[in-house]
């Protein structure tokens, strides 16, 4: 059961970038020639000019549909054609015609031969809109320079492929501004115990990215896991809460059966999986109520209360299942990682992964250091260590957390083989998905993390070279990947922080364009 669909959550997959094409055509009322007007016979007539405007506007619009109409989440709106005579009029009637439904438009793409810049500039200035000029033989440079000199947003891609990447990046910008994160907190809404490298100030994040936040007390959250009279929660005495109901438990039990049936291996008693699935259900119930579409919760802070032990649950399963539905969900209340996941997945259209990021080999001259999990049973992990030397890997890192996806290839891809193992080693509770990253050796990934000030972002390409932890418990699940410059990558993480996010596929260029569009400094490792 897909809870994002059941609760009709505002899914980031459904965010649409609305693009309005505007054609500005010039006609002449009089037959004459001059330094900017030339032709022969009927070519100098108003009727011929009108015919050219009609033909060109249809051709330009069709080219937009042909080149950009297949980009997921990009909607090419109806074209607006503005006709003006050789006196170059600029009046309110023209601007109002261009502004039809402007509150629904995210980007304007202009097409004209010459003599349209003044009209486009005034429109952009008056309505504060983003603009794009496509590569042309003679007018993209003067349009771009004129806009930028006036502080107006203008995108001037060099090629049509660059334009496609820019559109995807601008859609990602809209996704970020459409994100409202539900953040479960204990003592502090910004800094959980293990993440003082997350965003310092969420108001700054809202100012730069448009993302907003709703905070929720963890004791109120955990109390509502119980199937009791919703008026009797100790944290909300006498107030009706959103406790799991008997009817919802029927759905939850069914979800557990589906989860077990689809697994390659299950190493947990069924009854020990139910509490984690119940937590997943409650998360989505609250996301719907609070109109949120992303989620983060603290791990050590919740663990320290002993209530996770009491409830026999962790949030790992919730994160996996939410990420597969396009509702990003992050460990350890790391909001920097969460928004990195939202951004990456909006561009790749695939579920993200996040975790602790550790160098295992900084360059080809370093000795191979593989024991990165001394707190997580290194003796069992070592049996799965990939042979990095045999692959000729030079700069290798690992990311490990028990929140892999079963659909790394795409939201609608078939489920990959997976196992179910507990987070807790002794009590065997806290359901986690185990995925063998070794099956994806050689695949390209894109990695990212916002820095704590939300002024910089790490962006890197990588290649999977191994996996670890499929046969283990807790956070020992992980992926090994190679980057082009290990020392540079490590140094950038010293600025951005621990938890790095990744997606399958190459969206490096789009990430850089996104950073430019919101004024972030891109720390890149290509």
Alpha helices in 333-485 (DSSP H): 335-348, 378-382, 388-391
Average pLDDT of the chain is 92
Domain boundary, last residue among 148, 174, 200? 174
pLDDT in tens, 249-265: 999 999 999 999 999 99
Statement: residue 348 has pLDDT above 80: yes
| 128 and 242 belong to one structural domain | no
| 73 and 192 belong to one structural domain | no
pLDDT range class, residue 378, cuts 50, 70, 90 = very low
In-domain check, residue 141: yes
Q: Which domain holds residue 81?
A: 8-174
Q: How many CB atoms lie within 10 A of CB 418?
A: 22
Q: Contact at 8 Å (CB) between 230 and 221?
A: no
| 51 and 72 belong to one structural domain | yes
The Cα–Cα gap between 110 and 17 comes to 16
pLDDT range class, residue 191, cuts 50, 70, 90 = confident
pLDDT range class, residue 114, cuts 50, 70, 90 = low
| 298 and 381 belong to one structural domain | yes
pLDDT range class, residue 322, cuts 50, 70, 90 = very high
In-domain check, residue 430: yes
pLDDT at 1: 83
Q: Contact at 8 Å (CB) between 381 and 396?
A: no
Statement: residue 59 has pLDDT above 80: yes
| 123 and 247 belong to one structural domain | no
In-domain check, residue 2: no
- Sign for the CA dihedral angle at 156, 503, 430, 325 comes to positive
pLDDT at 180: 98
- Nearest-CA neighbor of 14 among 242, 244, 326, 407? 326
| 238 and 137 belong to one structural domain | no
Query: For 488, how many CA atoms within 13 A lie in the half-sphere containing its CB?
Result: 12
For the residues 480-491, what does the mean pLDDT come to?
A: 95
pLDDT range class, residue 388, cuts 50, 70, 90 = low
In-domain check, residue 169: yes
| 162 and 289 belong to one structural domain | no
Q: Which of 29-38, 120-129, 294-303 bottoms out in mean pLDDT, i.e. has the lowest?
A: 29-38
Q: Which residue has the tokens 């959103």?
A: 242
| 362 and 341 belong to one structural domain | yes
| 51 and 196 belong to one structural domain | no
- Strand 456-468 with 521-525, pairing: parallel
pLDDT range class, residue 382, cuts 50, 70, 90 = very low
pLDDT range class, residue 193, cuts 50, 70, 90 = confident
Q: Which of 143-147, 404-408, 512-516 bottoms out in mean pLDDT, i.e. has the lowest?
A: 143-147
Percentage of the residues of the chain whose pLDDT score is greater than 70: 94
Q: Which of 114-118, 296-300, 494-498 bottoms out in mean pLDDT, i.e. has the lowest?
A: 114-118
Give the DSSP letter string of 72-125. Answer: TTEEE---EEEEE-TT----HHHHHHHTTTGGG-SEEEEE-SSS-HHHHHHHHH
Contacts (Cβ under 8 Å, ≥6 apart) of 282? 221, 224, 225, 242, 244
pLDDT at 138: 65
The residue that leads in pLDDT, 391 or 502, is 502
pLDDT range class, residue 385, cuts 50, 70, 90 = low
| 118 and 204 belong to one structural domain | no
| 189 and 219 belong to one structural domain | yes
In-domain check, residue 166: yes
What CATH number does the domain containing 36 carry? 3.40.50
- Nearest-CA neighbor of 456 among 336, 331, 333? 336
User: Is the full-model pTM beyond 0.75?
Assistant: yes
b/e per residue, 229-253, with b = 16+ CB within 10 A?
ebeebeebeeeebbbbeeeeeebbe
pLDDT at 380: 47
In-domain check, residue 1: no
In-domain check, residue 3: no
Domain count, the chain: 2
Phi, psi of 142 (to 5 degrees): -70, -35
Torsion of CA 163, 168, 171, 173, to 10 degrees: -90
Contacts (Cβ under 8 Å, ≥6 apart) of 424? 314, 430, 473, 474
Percentage of the residues of the chain whose pLDDT score is greater than 90: 77
Give the DSSP letter string of 214-232. Answer: EEEEHHHHHHTTS-S-TT-
Statement: residue 377 has pLDDT above 90: no
pLDDT at 374: 38
């Amino acid at each position: 059961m897909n809870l994002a669909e059941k609760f009709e959550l505002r899914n980031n997959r459904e965010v649409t970038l609305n693009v309005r094409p505007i054609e500005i055509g010039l006609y002449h009322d009089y037959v004459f020639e001059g330094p900017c007007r030339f032709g022969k016979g009927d070519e100098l007539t108003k009727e011929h000019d009108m015919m050219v405007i009609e033909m060109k506007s249809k051709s330009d619009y069709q080219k937009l549909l042909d080149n950009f109409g297949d980009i997921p989440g990009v909607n090419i709106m109806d074209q607006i054609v503005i006709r003006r005579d050789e006196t170059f009029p600029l009046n309110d009637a023209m601007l109002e015609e261009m502004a039809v439904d402007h509150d629904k438009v995210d980007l304007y793409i202009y097409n004209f031969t010459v003599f349209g810049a003044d009209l486009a500039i005034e429109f952009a200035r008056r309505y504060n809109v983003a603009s794009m000029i496509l590569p042309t033989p003679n007018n993209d440079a003067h349009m771009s320079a004129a806009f930028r000199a006036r502080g107006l947003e203008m995108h001037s891609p060099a090629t049509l492929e660059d334009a496609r990447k820019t559109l995807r990046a601008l859609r990602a910008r809209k996704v970020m501004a459409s994100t409202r994160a539900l953040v479960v907190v204990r003592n502090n809404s910004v800094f959980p115990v293990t993440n003082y490298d997350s965003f310092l100030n969420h108001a700054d994040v809202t100012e730069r990215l448009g993302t907003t936040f709703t905070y929720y007390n963890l004791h109120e959250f955990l109390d509502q896991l119980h199937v009791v009279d919703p008026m009797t929660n100790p944290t909300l005495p006498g107030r009706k809460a959103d406790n799991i109901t008997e009817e919802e438990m029927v759905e939850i039990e069914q979800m557990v059966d589906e989860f077990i049936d689809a697994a390659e291996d299950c190493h947990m008693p069924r009854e020990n999986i139910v509490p984690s699935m119940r937590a997943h259900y409650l998360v989505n119930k609250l996301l719907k109520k609070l109109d949120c579409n992303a989620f983060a919760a603290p791990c050590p802070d919740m663990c320290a209360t002993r209530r996770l032990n009491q409830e026999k649950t962790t949030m790992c399963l919730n994160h996996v299942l939410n990420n597969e539905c396009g509702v990003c969900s992050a460990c350890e209340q790391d909001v920097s990682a969460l928004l990195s996941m939202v951004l990456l997945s909006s561009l790749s259209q695939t579920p993200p992964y996040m975790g602790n990021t550790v160098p295992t080999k900084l360059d080809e001259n370093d000795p191979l250091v593989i024991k990165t999990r001394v707190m997580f049973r290194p003796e069992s992990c070592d049996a799965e260590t990939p042979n990095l030397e045999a692959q000729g890997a030079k700069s290798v890192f690992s990311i490990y957390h028990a929140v892999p996806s079963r659909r790394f290839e795409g939201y609608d891809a078939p489920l990959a083989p997976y196992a179910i193992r507990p987070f807790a080693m002794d009590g065997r509770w806290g359901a986690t998905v185990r995925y063998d990253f070794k099956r994806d050796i050689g695949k390209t990934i894109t990695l990212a993390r916002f820095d704590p000030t939300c002024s910089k972002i790490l962006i890197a390409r990588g290649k999977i070279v191994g996996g670890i932890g499929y046969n283990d418990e807790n956070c020992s699940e992980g992926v090994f990947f190679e980057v082009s410059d290990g020392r540079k990558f490590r140094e950038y993480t010293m600025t951005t922080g621990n938890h790095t996010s990744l997606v399958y596929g190459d969206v490096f260029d789009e990430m850089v364009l996104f950073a430019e569009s919101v004024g972030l400094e891109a720390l890149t490792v290509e």
